[in-house]
Amino acid sequence: MEFRDVRKRFGSGAPVLDGFTLSVKSGETMALIGPSGSGKTTALRLVNRLIAADAGEVRVEGRDVSSEEPVGLRRRIGYVIQEGGLLPHWDVERNVTIVPRLLGWPPERRRARAEELLAMVNLPFREFAPRRPRELSGGQRQRVGVARALAADPPLVLMDEPFGALDPIARRALQQEFLSWKRQLGKAVLFVTHDIPEAFRLADRVAVLRAGKVIQVGSPREIADSPADDFVRELARP
Amino acid sequence: MSGIASYFWERRSEIAAHTGEHLVLVVLSTLAAVAIGIPLGVALTRRPRLARPVLGLAGIVQTIPSLALFGFLIPLPFLGGIGPRTAIVALILYALLPILRNTYSGIRSVDPAVVESAVGLGMTARQRLWWVEVPLSLPVVLGGVRIAIVVSIGIATIAAAVGAGGLGVLIYRGIATVDNRLILAGAVPAALLAVLCDGLLGWAERRWSGIAR
Protein backbone atom coordinates (compact mmCIF):
# COMPACT_ATOMS: atom_id res chain seq x y z
CA MET A 1 0.00 0.00 0.00
CA GLU A 2 1.11 3.54 -0.43
CA PHE A 3 0.43 7.17 0.32
CA ARG A 4 1.16 9.62 -2.51
CA ASP A 5 1.50 13.26 -1.63
CA VAL A 6 -1.46 13.13 0.75
CA ARG A 7 -2.87 16.20 2.38
CA LYS A 8 -5.45 16.28 5.14
CA ARG A 9 -6.68 19.03 7.37
CA PHE A 10 -9.48 19.14 9.90
CA GLY A 11 -11.58 22.30 9.98
CA SER A 12 -9.60 25.45 9.39
CA GLY A 13 -6.43 24.57 11.31
CA ALA A 14 -3.02 23.72 9.92
CA PRO A 15 -2.98 20.54 7.83
CA VAL A 16 -2.37 17.39 9.86
CA LEU A 17 -0.76 15.71 6.87
CA ASP A 18 0.89 17.65 4.06
CA GLY A 19 2.87 16.14 1.23
CA PHE A 20 2.74 12.78 3.00
CA THR A 21 4.30 10.02 0.92
CA LEU A 22 5.12 6.51 2.10
CA SER A 23 4.85 2.98 0.81
CA VAL A 24 4.54 -0.32 2.61
CA LYS A 25 5.59 -3.45 0.73
CA SER A 26 3.64 -6.64 1.01
CA GLY A 27 4.73 -8.71 3.98
CA GLU A 28 6.47 -5.74 5.54
CA THR A 29 5.88 -4.30 9.01
CA MET A 30 6.07 -0.52 8.99
CA ALA A 31 5.93 1.55 12.17
CA LEU A 32 4.87 5.19 12.22
CA ILE A 33 6.51 7.15 14.99
CA GLY A 34 6.61 10.81 15.84
CA PRO A 35 5.40 13.29 18.43
CA SER A 36 1.68 13.52 19.17
CA GLY A 37 -0.05 15.62 16.57
CA SER A 38 2.37 14.56 13.85
CA GLY A 39 -0.41 12.81 11.94
CA LYS A 40 0.28 9.14 12.68
CA THR A 41 -3.25 8.10 13.51
CA THR A 42 -4.69 10.30 10.77
CA ALA A 43 -2.52 8.51 8.22
CA LEU A 44 -3.73 5.14 9.45
CA ARG A 45 -7.40 6.13 9.32
CA LEU A 46 -7.03 7.30 5.75
CA VAL A 47 -6.18 3.77 4.67
CA ASN A 48 -9.51 2.19 5.60
CA ARG A 49 -11.43 5.35 4.74
CA LEU A 50 -12.54 6.20 8.24
CA ILE A 51 -11.55 9.63 6.96
CA ALA A 52 -10.90 10.91 3.45
CA ALA A 53 -7.84 12.70 2.12
CA ASP A 54 -8.21 16.27 0.86
CA ALA A 55 -5.59 15.76 -1.83
CA GLY A 56 -3.24 13.05 -3.00
CA GLU A 57 -3.87 9.33 -3.19
CA VAL A 58 -3.96 6.41 -0.83
CA ARG A 59 -3.54 3.11 -2.65
CA VAL A 60 -4.15 -0.38 -1.32
CA GLU A 61 -3.10 -3.28 -3.55
CA GLY A 62 -2.59 -0.81 -6.35
CA ARG A 63 -6.05 0.73 -6.22
CA ASP A 64 -7.00 4.19 -5.07
CA VAL A 65 -9.13 3.74 -1.93
CA SER A 66 -11.30 6.72 -2.83
CA SER A 67 -12.64 4.75 -5.79
CA GLU A 68 -13.57 1.80 -3.59
CA GLU A 69 -16.69 1.10 -1.68
CA PRO A 70 -15.64 1.75 1.98
CA VAL A 71 -17.44 -1.16 3.63
CA GLY A 72 -15.94 -3.74 1.28
CA LEU A 73 -12.52 -2.13 1.55
CA ARG A 74 -12.57 -2.27 5.36
CA ARG A 75 -13.50 -5.94 5.35
CA ARG A 76 -10.31 -6.60 3.40
CA ILE A 77 -8.10 -4.70 5.85
CA GLY A 78 -7.44 -5.80 9.43
CA TYR A 79 -7.89 -3.13 12.07
CA VAL A 80 -6.72 -3.17 15.68
CA ILE A 81 -7.07 -0.28 18.10
CA GLN A 82 -5.91 0.32 21.63
CA GLU A 83 -7.76 -1.83 24.19
CA GLY A 84 -9.04 -3.89 21.27
CA GLY A 85 -12.35 -2.03 20.84
CA LEU A 86 -14.19 -5.31 21.46
CA LEU A 87 -17.98 -5.36 21.47
CA PRO A 88 -18.75 -5.72 25.19
CA HIS A 89 -22.08 -7.52 24.69
CA TRP A 90 -20.61 -10.27 22.52
CA ASP A 91 -18.48 -13.17 23.68
CA VAL A 92 -14.94 -13.72 22.47
CA GLU A 93 -15.90 -16.15 19.73
CA ARG A 94 -18.44 -13.78 18.26
CA ASN A 95 -16.04 -10.85 18.51
CA VAL A 96 -13.30 -12.74 16.74
CA THR A 97 -15.58 -13.77 13.89
CA ILE A 98 -17.18 -10.39 13.19
CA VAL A 99 -15.59 -9.98 9.77
CA PRO A 100 -16.30 -13.58 8.66
CA ARG A 101 -19.90 -12.97 9.74
CA LEU A 102 -20.01 -9.74 7.74
CA LEU A 103 -18.64 -11.66 4.77
CA GLY A 104 -21.37 -14.27 5.15
CA TRP A 105 -19.30 -17.31 6.08
CA PRO A 106 -21.40 -20.29 7.23
CA PRO A 107 -21.40 -21.01 10.99
CA GLU A 108 -19.22 -24.15 10.83
CA ARG A 109 -16.52 -22.29 8.95
CA ARG A 110 -16.67 -19.42 11.44
CA ARG A 111 -16.37 -21.82 14.35
CA ALA A 112 -13.36 -23.54 12.80
CA ARG A 113 -11.73 -20.17 12.13
CA ALA A 114 -12.36 -18.99 15.70
CA GLU A 115 -10.63 -22.13 16.99
CA GLU A 116 -7.61 -21.50 14.78
CA LEU A 117 -7.37 -17.84 15.68
CA LEU A 118 -7.66 -18.29 19.43
CA ALA A 119 -5.05 -21.05 19.30
CA MET A 120 -2.75 -18.67 17.45
CA VAL A 121 -3.07 -15.98 20.13
CA ASN A 122 -2.66 -18.56 22.92
CA LEU A 123 -6.16 -18.36 24.33
CA PRO A 124 -7.52 -21.92 24.73
CA PHE A 125 -10.80 -22.01 22.83
CA ARG A 126 -12.86 -23.93 25.36
CA GLU A 127 -11.94 -21.60 28.15
CA PHE A 128 -12.06 -18.28 26.37
CA ALA A 129 -14.58 -18.53 23.51
CA PRO A 130 -17.64 -18.04 25.76
CA ARG A 131 -16.15 -15.22 27.82
CA ARG A 132 -17.18 -11.60 27.63
CA PRO A 133 -14.51 -8.94 27.09
CA ARG A 134 -14.94 -7.68 30.66
CA GLU A 135 -13.89 -11.11 31.92
CA LEU A 136 -10.50 -10.79 30.23
CA SER A 137 -7.29 -9.06 31.25
CA GLY A 138 -6.00 -6.16 29.18
CA GLY A 139 -3.48 -8.38 27.43
CA GLN A 140 -6.11 -11.01 26.65
CA ARG A 141 -8.43 -8.36 25.21
CA GLN A 142 -5.63 -7.13 23.03
CA ARG A 143 -4.95 -10.67 21.79
CA VAL A 144 -8.61 -11.03 20.89
CA GLY A 145 -8.36 -7.70 19.06
CA VAL A 146 -5.42 -8.96 17.02
CA ALA A 147 -7.14 -12.29 16.32
CA ARG A 148 -10.23 -10.42 15.17
CA ALA A 149 -8.23 -8.31 12.74
CA LEU A 150 -6.69 -11.43 11.21
CA ALA A 151 -9.94 -13.40 11.00
CA ALA A 152 -10.62 -13.06 7.29
CA ASP A 153 -6.93 -13.31 6.43
CA PRO A 154 -6.50 -9.74 5.15
CA PRO A 155 -3.29 -8.94 3.27
CA LEU A 156 -2.92 -5.68 5.19
CA VAL A 157 -3.39 -4.98 8.91
CA LEU A 158 -3.59 -1.53 10.52
CA MET A 159 -2.76 -1.20 14.20
CA ASP A 160 -3.21 1.95 16.24
CA GLU A 161 -1.22 1.75 19.49
CA PRO A 162 -2.03 -1.94 19.63
CA PHE A 163 -0.18 -2.58 22.89
CA GLY A 164 -0.46 0.93 24.31
CA ALA A 165 -2.79 0.23 27.20
CA LEU A 166 -0.82 -2.66 28.66
CA ASP A 167 1.51 -2.91 31.60
CA PRO A 168 5.19 -3.41 30.66
CA ILE A 169 5.21 -7.15 31.26
CA ALA A 170 2.10 -7.90 29.24
CA ARG A 171 3.35 -5.53 26.59
CA ARG A 172 6.65 -7.30 26.31
CA ALA A 173 4.94 -10.67 26.04
CA LEU A 174 2.63 -9.46 23.29
CA GLN A 175 5.52 -7.93 21.38
CA GLN A 176 7.29 -11.30 21.43
CA GLU A 177 4.15 -12.97 20.13
CA PHE A 178 3.73 -10.32 17.49
CA LEU A 179 7.16 -11.19 16.11
CA SER A 180 6.20 -14.84 15.80
CA TRP A 181 2.82 -14.03 14.14
CA LYS A 182 4.68 -11.83 11.76
CA ARG A 183 6.99 -14.64 10.69
CA GLN A 184 4.11 -17.10 10.34
CA LEU A 185 1.66 -14.91 8.48
CA GLY A 186 3.75 -12.62 6.30
CA LYS A 187 1.21 -9.79 6.23
CA ALA A 188 1.80 -6.14 5.52
CA VAL A 189 1.34 -4.30 8.81
CA LEU A 190 1.16 -0.56 9.30
CA PHE A 191 1.25 0.34 12.95
CA VAL A 192 1.29 3.51 14.99
CA THR A 193 3.10 3.71 18.29
CA HIS A 194 4.49 6.38 20.55
CA ASP A 195 6.87 3.84 22.05
CA ILE A 196 10.10 4.11 20.05
CA PRO A 197 11.74 0.93 21.43
CA GLU A 198 8.57 -0.95 20.45
CA ALA A 199 8.76 0.41 16.91
CA PHE A 200 12.43 -0.59 16.64
CA ARG A 201 11.78 -4.05 18.03
CA LEU A 202 8.78 -4.93 15.88
CA ALA A 203 9.11 -3.12 12.59
CA ASP A 204 11.09 -3.96 9.46
CA ARG A 205 11.09 -0.29 8.60
CA VAL A 206 10.24 2.79 10.61
CA ALA A 207 8.84 6.06 9.28
CA VAL A 208 9.53 9.14 11.40
CA LEU A 209 6.81 11.79 11.15
CA ARG A 210 6.91 15.40 12.07
CA ALA A 211 4.23 18.00 11.36
CA GLY A 212 2.47 15.86 8.79
CA LYS A 213 5.51 14.84 6.77
CA VAL A 214 7.73 11.78 6.65
CA ILE A 215 11.20 12.95 7.63
CA GLN A 216 12.97 9.65 7.34
CA VAL A 217 12.12 6.06 6.45
CA GLY A 218 14.48 3.20 7.02
CA SER A 219 15.24 0.06 8.93
CA PRO A 220 15.62 0.55 12.68
CA ARG A 221 19.37 0.23 12.23
CA GLU A 222 19.54 2.88 9.50
CA ILE A 223 17.50 5.29 11.60
CA ALA A 224 19.65 4.70 14.66
CA ASP A 225 22.98 4.77 12.80
CA SER A 226 22.37 7.61 10.38
CA PRO A 227 19.54 9.84 11.52
CA ALA A 228 18.44 12.38 8.92
CA ASP A 229 18.62 15.32 11.32
CA ASP A 230 18.84 16.27 14.99
CA PHE A 231 15.14 15.70 15.50
CA VAL A 232 15.42 12.07 14.44
CA ARG A 233 18.67 11.66 16.35
CA GLU A 234 16.98 12.89 19.51
CA LEU A 235 13.95 10.70 18.95
CA ALA A 236 15.93 7.56 18.17
CA ARG A 237 18.38 7.93 21.01
CA PRO A 238 18.39 4.73 23.05
CA MET B 1 -58.86 1.63 57.04
CA SER B 2 -61.15 -1.34 56.66
CA GLY B 3 -63.83 1.15 55.70
CA ILE B 4 -61.77 2.21 52.68
CA ALA B 5 -61.05 -1.37 51.71
CA SER B 6 -64.69 -2.35 51.72
CA TYR B 7 -65.56 0.85 49.85
CA PHE B 8 -63.04 -0.09 47.14
CA TRP B 9 -64.46 -3.61 47.08
CA GLU B 10 -68.00 -2.36 46.56
CA ARG B 11 -66.82 -0.21 43.68
CA ARG B 12 -64.44 -2.79 42.23
CA SER B 13 -66.10 -3.06 38.83
CA GLU B 14 -66.13 0.71 38.40
CA ILE B 15 -62.51 1.00 39.50
CA ALA B 16 -61.50 -1.83 37.18
CA ALA B 17 -63.25 -0.23 34.22
CA HIS B 18 -61.55 3.12 34.78
CA THR B 19 -58.20 1.42 35.34
CA GLY B 20 -58.68 -0.29 31.99
CA GLU B 21 -59.41 3.04 30.27
CA HIS B 22 -56.42 4.54 32.00
CA LEU B 23 -54.15 1.77 30.78
CA VAL B 24 -55.43 2.11 27.23
CA LEU B 25 -54.56 5.83 27.26
CA VAL B 26 -51.10 5.22 28.68
CA VAL B 27 -50.24 2.21 26.53
CA LEU B 28 -51.40 3.73 23.24
CA SER B 29 -49.66 7.03 23.86
CA THR B 30 -46.44 5.39 25.02
CA LEU B 31 -46.36 3.09 22.02
CA ALA B 32 -46.82 6.06 19.71
CA ALA B 33 -44.17 8.07 21.56
CA VAL B 34 -41.74 5.14 21.30
CA ALA B 35 -42.51 4.77 17.59
CA ILE B 36 -41.79 8.46 17.02
CA GLY B 37 -39.19 9.17 19.69
CA ILE B 38 -36.71 6.34 19.18
CA PRO B 39 -36.23 6.74 15.41
CA LEU B 40 -36.13 10.51 15.82
CA GLY B 41 -33.57 10.22 18.63
CA VAL B 42 -31.40 7.98 16.43
CA ALA B 43 -31.73 10.44 13.55
CA LEU B 44 -30.58 13.27 15.82
CA THR B 45 -27.37 11.40 16.66
CA ARG B 46 -26.61 11.41 12.92
CA ARG B 47 -27.31 15.16 12.68
CA PRO B 48 -26.11 16.55 16.01
CA ARG B 49 -26.68 20.08 14.74
CA LEU B 50 -30.42 19.49 14.91
CA ALA B 51 -30.29 17.88 18.33
CA ARG B 52 -30.30 21.05 20.36
CA PRO B 53 -33.33 22.74 18.72
CA VAL B 54 -35.37 19.53 18.58
CA LEU B 55 -34.64 18.54 22.19
CA GLY B 56 -35.27 22.15 23.19
CA LEU B 57 -38.67 22.12 21.52
CA ALA B 58 -39.62 18.85 23.20
CA GLY B 59 -38.46 20.40 26.48
CA ILE B 60 -40.71 23.42 26.00
CA VAL B 61 -43.74 21.18 25.43
CA GLN B 62 -42.85 19.49 28.70
CA THR B 63 -43.14 22.81 30.56
CA ILE B 64 -46.72 23.49 29.43
CA PRO B 65 -49.00 22.70 32.36
CA SER B 66 -50.89 19.57 31.43
CA LEU B 67 -54.34 20.96 32.07
CA ALA B 68 -53.52 23.89 29.76
CA LEU B 69 -52.18 21.56 27.05
CA PHE B 70 -55.39 19.55 27.11
CA GLY B 71 -57.28 22.84 26.82
CA PHE B 72 -55.18 24.03 23.86
CA LEU B 73 -55.81 20.79 22.00
CA ILE B 74 -59.60 20.74 22.33
CA PRO B 75 -60.34 23.21 19.51
CA LEU B 76 -57.83 21.71 17.06
CA PRO B 77 -59.26 19.70 14.15
CA PHE B 78 -58.13 16.05 13.80
CA LEU B 79 -56.00 16.13 16.95
CA GLY B 80 -58.37 17.66 19.44
CA GLY B 81 -61.99 17.57 20.50
CA ILE B 82 -63.60 15.95 23.50
CA GLY B 83 -62.56 12.37 24.21
CA PRO B 84 -59.62 10.01 24.41
CA ARG B 85 -58.00 11.18 21.17
CA THR B 86 -57.09 14.58 22.62
CA ALA B 87 -55.74 12.91 25.74
CA ILE B 88 -53.60 10.51 23.74
CA VAL B 89 -52.13 13.35 21.67
CA ALA B 90 -51.24 15.29 24.82
CA LEU B 91 -49.73 12.22 26.46
CA ILE B 92 -47.62 11.52 23.37
CA LEU B 93 -46.25 15.06 23.55
CA TYR B 94 -45.27 14.60 27.19
CA ALA B 95 -43.79 11.15 26.67
CA LEU B 96 -41.74 12.26 23.70
CA LEU B 97 -39.07 14.24 25.55
CA PRO B 98 -37.79 11.54 27.92
CA ILE B 99 -37.77 8.94 25.14
CA LEU B 100 -36.13 11.26 22.63
CA ARG B 101 -33.56 12.55 25.06
CA ASN B 102 -32.58 9.14 26.41
CA THR B 103 -32.34 7.63 22.93
CA TYR B 104 -30.10 10.48 21.82
CA SER B 105 -27.85 10.47 24.85
CA GLY B 106 -27.88 6.66 25.10
CA ILE B 107 -26.51 6.27 21.59
CA ARG B 108 -24.06 9.11 22.07
CA SER B 109 -22.74 7.45 25.22
CA VAL B 110 -21.71 4.23 23.47
CA ASP B 111 -17.92 3.94 23.73
CA PRO B 112 -16.53 5.66 20.60
CA ALA B 113 -13.69 3.10 20.44
CA VAL B 114 -16.24 0.31 20.11
CA VAL B 115 -18.11 2.14 17.36
CA GLU B 116 -14.89 3.01 15.57
CA SER B 117 -13.68 -0.55 15.55
CA ALA B 118 -17.09 -1.79 14.38
CA VAL B 119 -17.03 0.65 11.47
CA GLY B 120 -13.34 0.02 10.82
CA LEU B 121 -13.96 -3.72 10.48
CA GLY B 122 -16.56 -3.08 7.81
CA MET B 123 -20.01 -2.87 9.38
CA THR B 124 -22.59 -1.02 7.33
CA ALA B 125 -24.46 1.90 8.90
CA ARG B 126 -27.37 -0.41 9.60
CA GLN B 127 -25.22 -3.11 11.20
CA ARG B 128 -23.51 -0.50 13.33
CA LEU B 129 -26.91 0.66 14.56
CA TRP B 130 -28.55 -2.74 15.19
CA TRP B 131 -25.55 -4.79 16.30
CA VAL B 132 -23.70 -2.19 18.32
CA GLU B 133 -25.50 1.01 19.17
CA VAL B 134 -28.99 -0.30 19.86
CA PRO B 135 -27.97 -3.13 22.21
CA LEU B 136 -25.43 -0.97 24.03
CA SER B 137 -27.79 1.96 24.55
CA LEU B 138 -30.87 -0.11 25.37
CA PRO B 139 -30.71 0.34 29.17
CA VAL B 140 -30.66 4.13 28.75
CA VAL B 141 -33.46 4.06 26.17
CA LEU B 142 -35.54 1.82 28.45
CA GLY B 143 -34.91 4.33 31.23
CA GLY B 144 -36.50 6.99 29.04
CA VAL B 145 -39.52 4.78 28.35
CA ARG B 146 -39.87 4.12 32.07
CA ILE B 147 -39.90 7.81 32.90
CA ALA B 148 -42.38 8.43 30.08
CA ILE B 149 -44.78 5.76 31.37
CA VAL B 150 -44.65 6.90 34.98
CA VAL B 151 -45.24 10.51 33.97
CA SER B 152 -48.05 9.48 31.61
CA ILE B 153 -49.86 7.51 34.31
CA GLY B 154 -49.93 10.64 36.43
CA ILE B 155 -50.91 13.03 33.66
CA ALA B 156 -53.56 10.66 32.32
CA THR B 157 -55.62 11.31 35.46
CA ILE B 158 -56.17 14.82 34.09
CA ALA B 159 -57.49 13.38 30.82
CA ALA B 160 -60.87 13.01 32.50
CA ALA B 161 -61.17 16.79 32.21
CA VAL B 162 -61.49 16.44 28.42
CA GLY B 163 -63.84 13.50 28.66
CA ALA B 164 -61.24 10.82 27.96
CA GLY B 165 -62.16 8.61 30.92
CA GLY B 166 -59.60 6.86 33.07
CA LEU B 167 -59.02 6.95 36.81
CA GLY B 168 -59.25 10.75 36.76
CA VAL B 169 -63.03 10.36 36.43
CA LEU B 170 -63.18 9.05 40.00
CA ILE B 171 -60.86 11.77 41.25
CA TYR B 172 -62.82 14.60 39.62
CA ARG B 173 -66.08 13.18 40.88
CA GLY B 174 -64.59 12.88 44.35
CA ILE B 175 -63.47 16.49 44.28
CA ALA B 176 -66.86 17.68 43.08
CA THR B 177 -68.69 15.83 45.82
CA VAL B 178 -66.00 16.41 48.47
CA ASP B 179 -65.66 12.67 48.90
CA ASN B 180 -62.13 11.65 49.87
CA ARG B 181 -62.85 7.98 49.49
CA LEU B 182 -63.84 8.51 45.88
CA ILE B 183 -60.68 10.54 45.26
CA LEU B 184 -58.64 7.69 46.73
CA ALA B 185 -60.49 5.17 44.57
CA GLY B 186 -58.92 6.96 41.59
CA ALA B 187 -55.60 7.99 43.10
CA VAL B 188 -54.55 4.71 44.75
CA PRO B 189 -54.87 2.52 41.64
CA ALA B 190 -53.04 5.20 39.60
CA ALA B 191 -50.20 5.27 42.11
CA LEU B 192 -50.05 1.47 42.20
CA LEU B 193 -49.93 1.33 38.41
CA ALA B 194 -47.04 3.81 38.39
CA VAL B 195 -45.09 1.88 41.00
CA LEU B 196 -45.71 -1.40 39.19
CA CYS B 197 -44.62 -0.10 35.78
CA ASP B 198 -41.60 1.61 37.28
CA GLY B 199 -40.51 -1.60 38.99
CA LEU B 200 -41.09 -3.75 35.93
CA LEU B 201 -39.18 -1.55 33.54
CA GLY B 202 -36.46 -0.88 36.10
CA TRP B 203 -35.98 -4.61 36.35
CA ALA B 204 -35.75 -4.96 32.55
CA GLU B 205 -33.29 -2.10 32.45
CA ARG B 206 -31.00 -3.64 35.06
CA ARG B 207 -31.20 -7.03 33.44
CA TRP B 208 -30.18 -5.65 30.09
CA SER B 209 -27.40 -3.48 31.41
CA GLY B 210 -25.88 -6.64 32.87
CA ILE B 211 -25.92 -8.14 29.39
CA ALA B 212 -24.69 -5.03 27.62
CA ARG B 213 -21.75 -4.24 29.81
pLDDT in tens, B45-57: 999 899 999 999 9
> What percent of chain B clears pLDDT 90, i.e. is strictly above it?
75
> pLDDT value at position B72?
86
Q: Say whether residue B127 is in contact with chain A using an 8 A CB cutoff.
A: yes
Q: What is the mean pLDDT of residues B52-71?
A: 89
Mean pLDDT value across residues B58-85: 86
Q: How many CB pairs under 8 A join A and B?
A: 61
Interface of A with B in 7-46 (CB under 8 A): none
Lowest average pLDDT, out of A87-91, B69-73, B196-200, goes to B69-73
State yes or no: pLDDT of A186 exceeds 90: no
Mean pLDDT of A189-196: 93
| pLDDT at res. B33 | 97
Give the closest-approach CA distance of A15 to chain B in angstroms: 23
Task: Specify the higher pLDDT residue, B194 or B2.
Answer: B194
Q: Sort residue A51 into left (φ over 0), alpha (ψ -120 to 50) or beta.
A: beta
Region B202-209 average pLDDT: 89
Mean pLDDT, residues A200-214 = 93
A88 to chain B: nearest residue by CA?
B213
Work out the average pLDDT over B65-73.
87
B211 and chain A in contact, CB less than 8 A: yes
Judge: B122–A88 Cβ closer than 8 Å, yes or no: no
Portion of chain A with pLDDT greater than 90, in percent: 75
pLDDT per position as a tens digit, A127-143: 999 999 999 999 999 99
Res B75: pLDDT: 86
Q: Closest-CA residue in chain A for B125?
A: A71
pLDDT of residue B101: 95
Q: How confident is the model at residue B110 (pLDDT cuts 50, 70, 90)?
A: very high
Residue B1 pLDDT: 57
pLDDT of residue A106: 97
Model pTM? Answer: 0.87
Q: Is the CB of residue A98 less than 8 Å away from at least one CB of chain B?
A: yes
> What whole-number percentage of chain B has pLDDT above 70?
98
Banded pLDDT at A166 (limits 50, 70, 90): confident
Query: How much is the pLDDT for A130?
Result: 96
Question: Could you tell me which chain A residue has the CA closest to the CA of B137?
Answer: A89
Q: Tell which B residues from 94 to 113 touch A, by Cβ distance under 8 Å.
A: 111, 113
Q: Which of A82, A88, A99 lies at the smallest CB-CB distance from B121? A: A99
| Of residues A71, A84, A89, nearest to B122 (C-beta) | A71
Q: Does A48 touch chain B (CB under 8 A)?
A: yes
